[in-house]
A and B are shown apart, each in its own frame.
Chain A
Amino acid sequence: MDKKRRDFLKIAGVSTLAGLGGTTVVDRLVSGTSPGQARASKKADSGHDGEHETVAKGHGTVEEVAKSGNRFGMIVDLRKFKENPALGDKVVEACHSTHNVPDFPEKKDVIKWTWLTGYGNAFTEHSNLYKDQLTLDNDVLVMCNHCDNPPCVRACPTSATFKNKDGIVAMDYHRCIGCRFCMAACPYGMRSFNWRDPRAGLDMNKLNNEFPTRMRGVVEKCNFCAERVGLGKQPACVEACGNSKALIFGNLNDPDSEIRKVLKANYTIQRKPSLGTHPSVFYIV
C-alpha cells in the first residue's frame, strides 16, 4: 500500500474513534449520572445535624431525583424482647414469610434477612464480660443497619446496592452480578448470597404472591420493607410486634416522629459505631 493511502487510513481511523468516543464522553458529562449513582456518590456524612442534606441534583442530571429527605430508621427495644422471648422468632418468621426467604438446612446455603444472635456477637465493640443474667439468656435481633454511610454501597461495582431516597439501602436484583464484594464490605455480616436456586428452599404453595423470590447468584438482605414503606405501611417485622412497641420504625429526619421522641427519651446503643458507618438501627438495652 503506498504511503499516502496508509496515512489517510490512519487519520480516518483516529478521527472515527475520536468522533465516536468524544460524543459519548460529552454525552455522559452533560447528561450526568443515573439517580442511583447520584445518590450513592452523595457525601453521606450527615451524622451531626438531624436534617438530611437534599440529594445533590448535581452533574446536571436529566432524570429528576425526587427530593424527599427521609431517613428511615428502627429502634429495637431489647427490654421488650426479653420480656417476651417468643417475640423474636415471630418477627423473623414474619419477615421471611413476607419476602419469600428460602429455608435451607445446610448452614453454608443459609439465607437470612433478620435473626437472633447473642449479645456478644451483635455488639462486638461492647464488653461481654460478666454480663447480667437477662442479657446472657436472651438474644438480640439483628438486621441490615441501612447505614447512612454504607461501605457496601461504596464497594458495589454496578450500584446494584444503593441508598434510595428514603435512606434505605436497597438491592437491585436485576443488576447484581454476584461478585459478593458487598458481603466482604459489610462490617455487620448482614448479607446473604443465593448460592443456589432459592425456590428449592421454598414451599411454592405458601408464598407471598405480592413479592417476588430472588434468583440464584444474587446477594440479598433486609430491605426495611421498602415495598410496604413506599405504600405507607409499617415493615412486616414491626407489624408482627403488634402493640408491644418492641420495634419502632420511622423517619429519623423528622424531629417530630415517634422514633425521634423515643430516642430522646431512652439510652440507645448501636453496632460498631467506631467504623463510621452511621447505622440507622438503634438498640435499647
Chain B
Amino acid sequence: MVTNSYDRLIQALGADLTPVRRLAPPGARTLIWLTIVGAIALALATVSDVGAMSRRLMAAPDMWLAAIGSLVTAVLAAVAAFQLILPDRKPAWALLPLPAAVFWVAASGIGCLRSWLVPETHPASLGEAETCLAFILGISVPLSALLIVMLRQGCPLRPNLILVIGGLACASAAATLLNFIHPYDATATDLTVHAFAVATVILANAIFGGRLLMGKDVLASV
C-alpha cells in the first residue's frame, strides 16, 4: 500500500466517511427556495388587495418595470448563489444578477422622477416608509435563514461573495413582495428607505451569515 505523510489525516477522513447523497442541481435548489418565496406571496395575496396592486402597477410603466426588475434580480441572484456553492463554478456567476439589479434601480429612479413631475401622486409618509423598512427586513430574515441553510449544503469556497449575492436575492425578493402592501407611488424618501433596507439585508448577511454558512469544522479533533 502506498503511504505518505498525510496518512493519519487520510485514515481519520476514511473513518469518518459515510455515504452521501449527491447535491441536487443548482436549478432545482433555486426552484425550492423560490417556491417558499412564492408561498409567502400567496399568503400575502390572501390578506391584501391584489386588484388594487395590479391597477397601481399598471398605472405607470416604471412601477411594473421596477417590480419585474426586483423579481428577476431575486431569481438570478438565487441562481448565482446556488451555482457559487459548487467548487468548480467560476466566480463570474456573481455577475449574473447585476444587469437585472441595474434595471431595477433604474426603473425605481424613473418612478422617483415621475413623482416629482406629476403633482397628483400619493407619496409615502415617513411612517409608511418605516413600514416598508420593517417589511423588507422582517421578510428578509426568514428568507436569508432558509437560503443560508440551503447554501451550507454545498461547499462555499468564497463565503463573503456568496453571502452578498444571497443577501441580494433575499432583499430583492422581499422588495418584490412589498408590492402587495405598498399602496404609494415611489418617492425619493421611499426609494431611499428601500435602498437602505436592501443594503442592510446584504450587509447583515455578509457579517452575520459567515458562521452559519461555514458551520463547524470537519473533524476538528483530527
Genuine A/B complex? no
